[in-house]
Each structure stands twice: as structure tokens, then as C-alpha cells.
Structure 1
Amino acid sequence: MAAHIRRRLRKGATTTAVAAAAVAALAASQAPAATLADGSAGSGDPKAAGEDTASGETDGAATGNSPYYTDLPPLVTPDRPGSSSGLPAAGSAEAGIPASVLAAYKQAEQTVATTDPSCRLPWQLLAAIGKVESGQARGGRVDANGTTTSPILGPALNGQGFALIKDTDGGAYDSDSVHDRAVGPMQFIPSTWASWGQDANGDGRKDPNNIYDAALAAGRYLCANDRDLALAADLDKAVLSYNRSTEYLRTVRSWYSYYQRGTHEIPDGTGTLPSTPS
């Protein structure tokens, strides 16, 4: 497992020179994933990477800029796209994605390919975001319908080290009637879910705790503003609309590149868990 750096996202905060240098060094080792669309290593300012936002957002980010896992993929990556054979020992565990979670990402890709073909959404991008946001639903701890077996909640967005986002759902999704929290395997805040929530598994509910619903919602959110995710600049904008941090973009791009090189299905509940975010 590659070394990782833990950090707390603070709206408007800057990282120390030491942390920035460490992140840059680690990101560089994951090239080309760490290189932004403009060829730079990133300035830490989302606007510098041409970030835009999707309609229906709160605070300009799907997650409310909640904390995320900063673990990076192994330095040795799979070399057979889409194959489960020939994976190097150093990368085999991290390349595994729980069965229901992987199925949800691929189903979302197929659905969006039908409803919004110009977006060219790759399921590996959903997998990268799912890894960074929740460790693939905490290693695939979901039931037969794809709903997490226990809530996945971010910290209260109370303005103390995080963005200030007061309650918008009466605690219906996040059990917090004072402040909003990011919810579910793709970590949507309730106000964003109200605009982008989907019922992908056909049970009549739009549930942010369900990996099928959340994956499709994330896919459609990333495709907003007529983005074409096959274009590096649009992909960067999409990821930054999810969390307004260039370090977040580097981390997601590293996992995206890793998963493009190859993945394999593993049983639900057996996925590798990342370190606890701070």
C-alpha cells in the first residue's frame, strides 16, 4: 500500500509547505493520474483547474467538501485492463472491488451511456470517487439490495473545521436536524441529493445509502453542464465539482488511472479498508 497523508478539509484553508510537498511527491509517483488537464501539478485552487459547478449544489460541492480518504494506490499497478489475471501481488488486493459495488458502477455507466451518451462516463471514475469517499462502501458492506448495512456519515458540517451547512432535510437522511452531513457510499449532502437523487434499483426509493442509487446519482452529477468526461479538462471540472480541492482531484485521478489498468471482482464485505480520514 502506498504511503498516505491524512488531512482535514477546511474551507478556504491552506496546507503547510511540508504537507503540500509531500502530497506533490506522492502524486507525482502516480503519474499520469496526478497531472491536471493543464499539465500542471495543481495550485491548490480549484479555480486554477477550471472548476465549474453543477446546478442544485450547496457550497459548490456534492459532498459539502467533507473529509475523504487520502490513501493512494500501490506504485505497482495492474497491466491488463479489465482482467483479473496477471495482477501483481502488490496491487491485487487494492484492485479488488466488491461485487455489488462494481455492478452498481457498471450499471450507472450503462444507464448514462443511454440517457447522456455525449458525457462518455467511465465506470472507473465512479470507482475512484467511491474509493476516496467511502472505501467502496466500507469494503462492500451492503445487503442484497445494495444498501449499506450501517450508515456512512460524514462529520457535522458545523463550520468548525468544515463548511457551515445548516440542516436541509430535517435529519431524514443524516439523522442530524441541526447541520447537514455527507451521506452514503458516494457521500452526498442532503441538499445535493434532493436535486440529484436517483432510484437505480427500482425499489421506488431514492436512497443515498444504496450503492446503485448513489452511483447513478454521482454519474449524472459528474455529467452536468454538458461535460464530456473523455476530455481531461471536463473530467477535472467534474471531479472538482464533487469536492473543491485540487488535492482531492489528484487523489481521485490516481485511483482512476489505477482502476483503468485493471480490476477484479471480490465478494461483498471483503474489500480493503482505507485509513480513517481526519
Structure 2
Amino acid sequence: MAARRYARRIRRGAAGTAVAAAAMAALSASQAPGFLPSAHAHSTASPDRSQGGTDAPSAGGPIDGGSPYITQLPPLNTAQGPFAPVPGGAPGGHVTVPSGGTGLPTTVLNAYLRAQESVAQSDPGCHLPWQLLAAIGQVESGQARDGAVDANGTTYTPILGPVLDGNGFANIGDTDHGRYDGDPVHDRAVGPMQFIPSTWETWGVDGNGDGVADPNNVYDAALAAAHYLCADGRDLSVPA
């Protein structure tokens, strides 16, 4: 898949990837055995991909995001190259593809680029690279299951992590009444960036201007992750 080809191409950069990996782990590491979370903390079009496409997943149960727990981020590619416009991506607009981004689904890449642009204005000292969001997105959901999102960036079916019932993972009782994860008993990580519901309640944001903060929307999830990574004055350009 395109996302896998992208993952093989990325190279390690000088940004604080260890710090970012720790932040990512806190973001969704409720899936880790024994982890206890901190107190602070649609259309029917086919998937929009930069190369090729597949049919939308059939309606029904959610996509299961459960997999062996991972905290190590793929290495970053911090090199920036020529930008070239390609169709699609932004709702009602175009996305520009930087060097190293052509293997990513178009809408997913655009969500990362928009999040980077947004935090460059709101948190200029953070120096968040879009490649970091892409690395997290690859680890957490395989780039929203290889771009299985509609034109607005919402996944066709929810991407859910394992049930956090203490059976090999943390034991986290329901915090959202099943609103995001559909489980009224235990929490599950949700969406392309695998936020747990309690974390989403704190960090959730509307990233695509539709008036709704939805963890299953890649624009919303990418921007929320960007704010999370840049919190507390974190500077991601400082080597770890």
C-alpha cells in the first residue's frame, strides 16, 4: 500500500523524536498494558488517495485498530522539497504535495499540512513538522487505513483500538458513555490518531470547519494531535 511505501522511505531527522514519541504514547498509550492516563490529559465517495484508489469499506462494524502496542515512531523525513499542486485533499480545494509526501493518501496528507500550518501560527515556537503527524498516523492507523476517508476527511467506519478492559491492556472504564467508541462499559482509542475519549474531551478540535470536533475525522484528529504535541511550550526542533 502507498502508506507502507511511504513508511519505508522516511528517514531520521534532527527533531526531538524521542520527546514526540513519549507524547504520542501519552496520547493513546492507554492501550499499553498497565498504563493509567494522566488527569491532564458524510459522503459515500471512494477513498481519496494520491495514487490509485480502492472501494470504500462495506458498511457495518467498525474497523478494529487493535494491534501490538507500539511506542516507537517511524523516523522522520525533515527534508522539504518542491511543492506541486494536485487535485483533491482540502474540502472544496487543492492540496500541495511536498517532497516525500506523494505516497500518502491525498486527504490525509492535506490534513497534516493544514495542521502544521495552523500550529505554525498558534504555536510558532513548536516547529511541528507535518512528517511527525504522518509518522504518528502511520503507527496508529496506517494513515487512516490507507486513506479510507470521505471527501470531508471522516473515516468510512470508526477505527477503534482494543477494548481497555485490563485484558492485556490498561483497564479504563467508560468516560464518554460510548459517544465516540460505542462502548458504554470501557474506553477504546478512536480514530486515525487513536485518541482515547477522555483525552479527546480535552484536546478535541474542529480542524475542517464543519462545526464538529470528531476524532474520526482526519482533519480534526491531526490538528488535535498537533496541539497536544505542542503543549506546554514544547519545541520539537530541539534534539532529544
Quickly name the TM-score band, shorter chain normalised. Answer: 0.5 to 0.7
Work out which of the residue numbers 64, 69, 94 in structure 1 matches 2:29: 64
Q: Check 1:116–1:182 CA distance in 2 against 1; reply closer, same or farther (3 A cut).
A: same
The C-alpha deviation readout for 1:128-178, integer Å capped at 9, x for no partner, is 000110000000010010000111000101111111111100000000011
The C-alpha deviation readout for 1:184-242, integer Å capped at 9, x for no partner, is 00000000000000101111110000000000000000011210010122xxxxxxxxx
**How is 1:185-196 mapped onto 2 (pairs within 5 angstroms)?**
185-196=192-203
Aligned length: 183
The answer on 1:172 being equivalent to 2:158 is: no
By percentage of residues, which structure has more helix? Answer: 1
**How far apart are the structure 1 equivalents of 2:143 and 2:205?**
19
Q: Check 1:180–1:116 CA distance in 2 against 1; reply closer, same or farther (3 A cut).
A: same
**How far apart are the structure 2 equivalents of 1:146 and 1:84?**
22
Kindly, what percent of the aligned residue pairs are identical?
A: 58
Q: Check 1:125–1:65 CA distance in 2 against 1; reply closer, same or farther (3 A cut).
A: same
Q: Check 1:72–1:200 CA distance in 2 against 1; reply closer, same or farther (3 A cut).
A: closer
**How is 1:1-150 mapped onto 2 (pairs within 5 angstroms)?**
32=12, 61-66=26-31, 67=67, 68=69, 81-82=80-81, 96-150=103-157
Q: Is the 8 A contact 2:206 2:214 kept in 1?
A: yes
Q: Is the 8 A contact 2:12 2:77 kept in 1?
A: no
Give the match for residue 210 of structure 1.
217
Q: Is the 8 A contact 1:78 1:95 kept in 2?
A: no
Provide TM-score, normalisation by structure 2.
0.65
Work out which of the residue numbers 195, 201, 204 in structure 1 matches 2:208: 201
Structure 1 residue 182: Cα displacement = 0.4
The answer on 1:221 being equivalent to 2:222 is: no
The C-alpha deviation readout for 1:227-269, integer Å capped at 9, x for no partner, is 0010122xxxxxxxxxxxxxxxxxxxxxxxxxxxxxxxxxxxx
Provide TM-score, normalisation by structure 1.
0.56
**How far apart are the structure 2 equivalents of 1:162 and 1:138?**
22
Matched letter for residue 81 of structure 2: G
**How far apart are the structure 2 equivalents of 1:123 and 1:50?**
13
Aligned to 1:176, the other structure's residue is in SS state coil
Matched letter for residue 163 of structure 1: A
**How far apart are the structure 1 equivalents of 2:112 and 2:21?**
24
The C-alpha deviation readout for 1:95-121, integer Å capped at 9, x for no partner, is 600000000000000000111101111
Q: Is the 8 A contact 2:116 2:130 kept in 1?
A: yes
Structure 1 residue 61: Cα displacement = 1.7
Q: Check 1:62–1:37 CA distance in 2 against 1; reply closer, same or farther (3 A cut).
A: closer
Q: Is the 8 A contact 1:73 1:94 kept in 2?
A: no
Q: Check 1:84–1:133 CA distance in 2 against 1; reply closer, same or farther (3 A cut).
A: same
Q: Is the 8 A contact 1:69 1:135 kept in 2?
A: no
Larger RCO, structure (CA 8 Å, separation 6 or more):
1
**How far apart are the structure 2 equivalents of 1:80 and 1:196?**
29
Work out which of the residue numbers 225, 230, 233 in structure 1 matches 2:237: 230
Unaligned runs of 5+ in 1: 2-29, 39-45, 55-59, 86-92, 234-278
